[in-house]
A and B are shown apart, each in its own frame.
Chain A
Amino acid sequence: MVNVVITPTVANLLKERGITEANVKETVDYGESTKDKAVLPAEKLNWAVKRIGAATFAVQYKDSGEVTTAFSYKVALKAITDFVSEDKTDWIYAKTNEQMYRIRADMEYIGVVRAASAWGCKSSPTAFIEEFMAIKTIAIAQMLLEKKKGA
C-alpha cells in the first residue's frame, strides 16, 4: 500500500472542493489494492477512481504517495458506449497494462442520463473523466440540473 501524502497546497484544494482526506485515502487504497487505476509511467503518476456514497472521487498521486490533485463529481457511470481507439493517451490501465484511449460513457444524475467523454479501454470498467471536465462542464451541469429540479 501507498502512504498518502497531502501537501498544504493540496490540502487547500481539497477543502475548496469539499473532499476529505478519508475520501482521498479510500480512493488511493482501492486503486492500489485492485490495480483498477491508470498509470503514467514516465511521470511516475497514478490515477485512482472510486464511487463512495453519492459521489465519485478521483485522485492523482505520485508513486511516492504524494497527491497532486483530487476532484469529485456526482454523475454515476451507467455504461461505456463508445471506444475511439485512434484517440490515444499516454495513460495506461494498470491491471492489464493496456494503453487507454478516448471513450464515451453514459453518466446519470437525478434521473438525467447524458454522455461524457473520458479515458478508458476495453478491459477497464472505469471511465477516467478528466479534471477539467469534472470541475467545469459536469460541475456546472450538475448545478443547473439541481436548480432546475428544485425550481
Chain B
Amino acid sequence: MGEVIGETKSLCPVCLSLVEAQRVVENGQVFLVKECPDHGLFKVPVWDDARYYSEVEHYDHPKVVPQVFKEWEKDAPSKMWDPSQQLQSTCLTVVEVTDGCNLKCPYCFASSDSSKMTNLDMETLRGMFTAVSTKVKKPTVVQISGGEPTIRNDLPEIVAMAKGLKIDFIQLNTNGVRLAKEDGYAGVMKKAGVDSVYLGFDTFDREVWKKICGVDLLDLKLKAVENCRRAGLPIELVPKIIPGLNVDQIGKIIEFAKKNIGIIKGVHFQPISYFGRVPAEPKDENYITIPSLLREIERQTGGEITPDDFIPTGCADVHCDTKCFGFVSEGRFVSLTKMSGKFSPDLDITRTVREGVYGSWGNILAKEAGLLDGDQPMSDKDCGCGTWMGLVKDLTLNALTISAMHFQDAWNIDYGRLRNCCIHEVMPDGRFVPFCLFNASDVRGRAPFRELWCAQNRK
C-alpha cells in the first residue's frame, strides 16, 4: 500500500455499515481504502493529483457549527451517521417534491421513473419550506427537485407557496422536458417565482443521450433553453460527466454557454457519482475526479480556461467543489476568480455562497462597482451606454460561472468531507440531511434516507 495521509470513516457499499478508512497516496493519486468485516476490502480513487489535493487546503474556511442536526440526535440511523459530527451550516437546501419522473434514465441519482408517484402534499411542503425559512440564515436558497418536479401540475402553486414563506431564491432542478414541450411553461414558472433553472445538459451527441438518458434529448434540451430565453428565465447547465461517454463534450458545453451568455449564467459539472440507479458497479476507470475534469476543461478550451482559474468555495469541504467566475467578452471567457483571492477568516462563507447563488456573481460585481448602491446617483447619463458604469454593467451581464461538484457515493464517501457538507436535503418532517448521505445507496440501489423520505410521506 502507498503512503497513508489521513484516517477517516466511510461506508461499506454492500451493507452501508460505517467502517474505518484511510486516505492513501499511490502513484501521485489519492485513494480511499477501507475494509468491511463482512464484505472485504475496497480501494477507490478520490483525487488523481495528490499534490493538488493538499494545495487546495489553503482555501479551507472556518465552518459554522450547525444547529439543524440536533433534531436527529435521538433517532439518527446510527449505523450510517453521527449527526453530532457535522461541522457546517446550510448554504443551499434541496426540497424533493416528488419521486416520480417522465423519463427513466439508466443513470439517475433518485432512481426515478414513472412507476413512482410519491408526491408530497401541500401541508408537508409548507412544513419543509417553513423549516428552511426558520432554520437557515438569509438569503435562503432552495432547489426544488425530485424525481422530476415539473410532472406535478401544481408546481406553480408549490413555488408560489415557497415564495410566500419568504424563501429568497428558488432554483428549479429539471430535465427540461416540460419546459421544452409546453409553450409558455417557462413563463408560468417564472411568474410563480422560479429564479433560475438547473437544467441537466450532458452532451451534444445524440447517441450518448440514449446511453445516459435512454432517449435522444438534444432537441428537447435546446428547445428548453430557447423557451427559457423567451421567458427571461436564467439557466445553469448541469452536465454529469461520465468517463467513456461524454468527457469529450466538456468544451462544447462551455462553448454553448458562452454563445448563450445572458440567459445561461453558469455551467456546473457533476463528475458522475454512483448512487441511485446506475448500469453497473463502478471500477476505477469509471470515475473522473476534479483534477482530471479541470485538465479536460483546459485541453478542450484550448487553454482559454485553466485549472489555475479555479478555486474551491471553501463552503463545503475543499475537495468537494471548485469554481471559476468570469465574464464573456468578444467570444472569450475572462476569468476573475483569482482577483478575489482567499476569503477573509471573518467572512461568513455560507452566506457568501448563498448570496452568490441568489445574486449571481455578476450582480455581486455590479454591487461592488456601486451599480446596485441605492445611495449613489444613477441617472441614465451616469450608467448608460458610453459610461464607465455602463461598461461594468454590460460586462457583468455577461458574467459566467463554471464550477464542479463531485458528490460522494457509498464507494468513495469520506466522512471527513461529509462533516463539512453545506448542501442539505430537507426531509418531509423538516429535518435536514447532508446531500450525499441522503442519496447514499448500496450495490442494489437501496438508499436508507430515501426510504425514510417515502416512509415519512406515508405517515
Pairwise interchain contact B369-A114, C-beta atoms closer than 8 A: no
CA distance A151 to B377 in the complex (A): 32
**Per-position 1/0 for B153-170, Cβ under 8 A of A:** 000000000000000000
CA distance A145 to B191 in the complex (A): 36
Residue of B nearest to A149 (CB): B334
The 7 closest A-B pairs by CB, nearest first: A136-B370, A140-B369, A151-B334, A114-B388, A141-B388, A115-B387, A137-B369
Pairwise interchain contact A107-B388, C-beta atoms closer than 8 A: yes
CA distance A145 to B382 in the complex (A): 19
Is residue B41 within 8 Å, beta carbon to beta carbon, of the partner chain? no
Which of B's residues lie within 8 Å of A, judged by CB? 326-327, 329-330, 332-336, 339, 365, 368-371, 373, 376-377, 381-382, 386-392, 395
Is residue A104 within 8 Å, beta carbon to beta carbon, of the partner chain? yes
CA distance A96 to B438 in the complex (A): 73
CA distance A132 to B382 in the complex (A): 13
**Per-position 1/0 for A113-151, Cβ under 8 A of B:** 011110000000000000011001111110111011001
**A115 contacts across to B, CB distance below 8 A:** 381, 386-388
Residue of A nearest to B333 (CB): A151
**A141 contacts across to B, CB distance below 8 A:** 369, 388-389, 391-392
CA distance A147 to B396 in the complex (A): 13
Given contacts A115-B388, A117-B377, A147-B336, contact A137 B371 (CB under 8 A): yes
CA distance A137 to B389 in the complex (A): 6
Name the prevailing secondary structure of the B interface residues. mixed
Residue of B nearest to A143 (CB): B339
Pairwise interchain contact B370-A116, C-beta atoms closer than 8 A: no
CA distance A112 to B335 in the complex (A): 20
Q: Which of B369, B386, B395 has the most CB of A within 10 A?
A: B369
Is residue A75 within 8 Å, beta carbon to beta carbon, of the partner chain? yes
Q: Which of B369, B377, B390, B391 has the most CB of A within 10 A?
A: B391
CB-contact partner of B365 in A138, A140, A151, under 8 A: A140
What total of chain A residues lie within 8 Å of the partner, measured CB to CB?
23
**A143 contacts across to B, CB distance below 8 A:** 336, 339
Which of A's residues lie within 8 Å of B, judged by CB? 75, 82, 104, 107, 112, 114-117, 132-133, 136-141, 143-145, 147-148, 151
How many Å from the CB of B396 to the closest CB on chain A? 8
CB-contact partner of B392 in A82, A104, A137, under 8 A: A137
**A137 contacts across to B, CB distance below 8 A:** 369-371, 388-389, 392
CA distance A117 to B386 in the complex (A): 12
**A151 contacts across to B, CB distance below 8 A:** 329, 332-335
Residue of B nearest to A104 (CB): B381
Cβ contacts A to B, 19 pairs, < 8 Å: A75-B388, A112-B391, A114-B386, A114-B390, A132-B370, A136-B369, A140-B365, A140-B368, A141-B392, A143-B336, A144-B327, A144-B334, A144-B336, A147-B326, A148-B329, A148-B334, A151-B329, A151-B333, A151-B334
**B373 contacts across to A, CB distance below 8 A:** 132, 136
CA distance A82 to B382 in the complex (A): 12
How many Å from the CB of A127 to the closest CB on chain B? 12
CA distance A138 to B382 in the complex (A): 12
CA distance A145 to B388 in the complex (A): 11
Pairwise interchain contact B387-A116, C-beta atoms closer than 8 A: yes
CB-contact partner of A133 in B336, B339, B368, B370, under 8 A: B370
How many Å from the CB of B48 to the closest CB on chain A? 28
Residue of A nearest to B395 (CB): A144
CA distance A140 to B391 in the complex (A): 10
CA distance A148 to B339 in the complex (A): 13
**A75 contacts across to B, CB distance below 8 A:** 388
CB-contact partner of B387 in A114, A136, A139, A147, under 8 A: A114
CA distance A147 to B309 in the complex (A): 12
**B365 contacts across to A, CB distance below 8 A:** 140
**B386 contacts across to A, CB distance below 8 A:** 114-115
